[in-house]
Structure 1
Amino acid sequence: MPRFYCPAPLQTGLALSLPAGAARHVQVLRLQPGDVITLFNGEGGEFDATVTRMGRSDVDVEVGEHRPLEREAARAVHLLAGITANERMDWLVEKATELGVASITPLMAERSVLKLKGERADKKLAHWQGVAVAAAEQCGRNRVPTIHPAVNLKEWLAQPKGDGQRWVLSLAQGTQPLAVVNTSVQPVVVLSGPEGGLAPAEEAAALAAGFQPVTLGPRVLRAETAPLALLSALTVL
């Protein structure tokens, strides 16, 4: 059954017009009045909904039964991920959403190729949030991970420290493997660098702020692969 994110109050029996993005998707699929779809608004569970009218650019539905289904990972993993080049960041956001990430903060690291500010940063943020929405629709999640505004590491470290663990993916000698440090189900922030990794000063700042260095093994993984490999180990049953 096609699934659509509908960021609006939903309740059984409600008649509403779908948001523009969802309406376009329904039209692309050539659904007709009487067809049943699934709606979720990120507040928990999902709803059946029946298409009642197909306009030229709008679609009306009637909301049906609520199903209290959740497909979230048992552990909240928050990525602080160095911004990668071109479509690789899109791919990271998409796959991290599928793997159950709780949130992603794009990191403007010293070695990041892409630097964001102003209107360009706003457009990228909206684009990445849209990628996360589409991935949640596809994979069955009923909650969409938050994509936070891009920051540099100094800005992020200046924010209040939350609960849980802090890990930084590192190739430094003496770094402990994931199997050794992964001993609880506490929320965790995972810091990973862009292409070329974190600069030495950035990694030192992270360690000074309480991040524990973690390695995924002897092979050097790409910037978009490493956090996904860790997410897979932590969130996939």
Structure 2
Amino acid sequence: MAARLFVEQPLGAIALAAELALPPGAARHVQVLRLQPGDEVTLFDGSGDEWTAAVTAMGRSEVRVALKSRQPVDREMKRAVTLAVVMPANDRMDGIVEKACELGAVAIQPLMSERSVLRLQGDRAEKKRAHWQGVAIAAAEQCGRSRPLQVAPVKTLAAWLAELPSDAGEQRWLLSPVAAQPMSVLMSPSSDAQPITVLSGPEGGLSEAEEQSARARGFSAAKLGPRILRADTAPLAVLGWLALSEA
């Protein structure tokens, strides 16, 4: 199977048979795999298509390829699912981003709440966001998606809720054990293609005031069964259930 590589350059603007230099990350991948001129790779740029390309030149700092063919690809979920996750501690966010991309989420919104352990601001927040976007790209390369999950800038929960439109034509779920309903009840058959935003709290959960604020912005409480799941397990459990419901 040919290696799949993400490139930010819009490939649709490049004529077939034309050569291009791979970006540093993709070039290093080709070098590590010890590919040779004539070997094929699969390129994607986030547009939804894939391109078959052949290596034409290998250098110490540059790898060049020629585009051979273009194929439309659709491996996305029918529903556009966004995870709004209050960031867990100890680098567990890396795992959430990776698995969320594999399972089909279109975006992740990293959040900070009253009980957050991990707090990020300024340059540190942007560096983390860029790191998580790299994790998402690597996951897309591995799992076959042609549209990598997008990681939004870090925000406080209060600021994010305040910015949400009152009526965005989407379902909004709050993961909570308080006055919650099963997801099967919340997801009606008449809304098969309706986007869903899932809000998940930190290790200590959201405060009562935060839950009330979320409900005021249209979030319905959803429960995940009789057990309490970890902060890094709960959003992925919901996403896995949604993904398998389309299988």
Query: In which range does the TM-score fall when normalised by the shorter chain?
Result: over 0.9
Q: Matches of 1:153 and 1:42 in 2, distance apart?
A: 28
Q: What's the offset of the Cα at 1:87?
A: 2.3
Match of 1:140 among 144, 149, 155: 144
Q: Matches of 1:106 and 1:157 in 2, distance apart?
A: 12
Given the two structures, how large is their TM-score scaled by the length of structure 1?
Answer: 0.97
Structure 1 counterpart of 2:4: 3
1:92-107 to 2 correspondences below 5 Å: 92-107=96-111
Structure 1 counterpart of 2:217: 209
Q: Matches of 1:117 and 1:64 in 2, distance apart?
A: 44
Q: Does 1:181 align with 2:182?
A: no
1:147-158 to 2 correspondences below 5 Å: 147-158=151-162
Q: Matches of 1:4 and 1:137 in 2, distance apart?
A: 6
Structure 1 counterpart of 2:201: 193
Q: Does 1:171 align with 2:177?
A: yes
Structure 2 counterpart of 1:38: 42
State the one-letter code of the partner of 1:191: L
State the one-letter code of the partner of 2:46: G
Match of 2:61 among 57, 79, 96: 57
Q: What's the offset of the Cα at 1:111?
A: 1.5
Q: What's the offset of the Cα at 1:163?
A: 2.5
Q: Matches of 2:197 and 2:73 in 1, distance apart?
A: 26
Q: Matches of 1:85 and 1:117 in 2, distance apart?
A: 15
Q: Which runs of 5+ in 1 are unaligned?
A: none
Q: What's the offset of the Cα at 1:206?
A: 0.3
Contact kept, 8 Å, 2:164 with 2:217, in 1: the verdict is: no
Q: What's the offset of the Cα at 1:233?
A: 1.1
Percent identical: 56
Q: Does 1:24 align with 2:28?
A: yes
Structure 1 counterpart of 2:231: 223
Q: Matches of 1:19 and 1:201 in 2, distance apart?
A: 46
Structure 2 counterpart of 1:78: 82
Q: Matches of 1:120 and 1:82 in 2, distance apart?
A: 16
Q: Deviations over 1:175-229 (max 9, x none)?
A: 1011111112210110001111112211111011110000011110111111111
Q: What's the offset of the Cα at 1:160?
A: 4.2
Q: Matches of 1:57 and 1:218 in 2, distance apart?
A: 54
Q: Matches of 1:5 and 1:189 in 2, distance apart?
A: 26
Q: Which runs of 5+ in 2 are unaligned?
A: none
Q: Deviations over 1:149-172 (max 9, x none)?
A: 011111111214132111100011
Q: Deviations over 1:32-80 (max 9, x none)?
A: 1111000000012100010011110211000111111110011110010
Cα RMSD of the aligned pairs, angstroms, is 1.0
User: Which stretches of structure 1, 4 residues or more, deviate above 4 A after TM superposition?
Assistant: none
Q: Matches of 2:90 and 2:17 in 1, distance apart?
A: 44
State the one-letter code of the partner of 2:105: V
Q: What's the offset of the Cα at 1:14?
A: 2.4
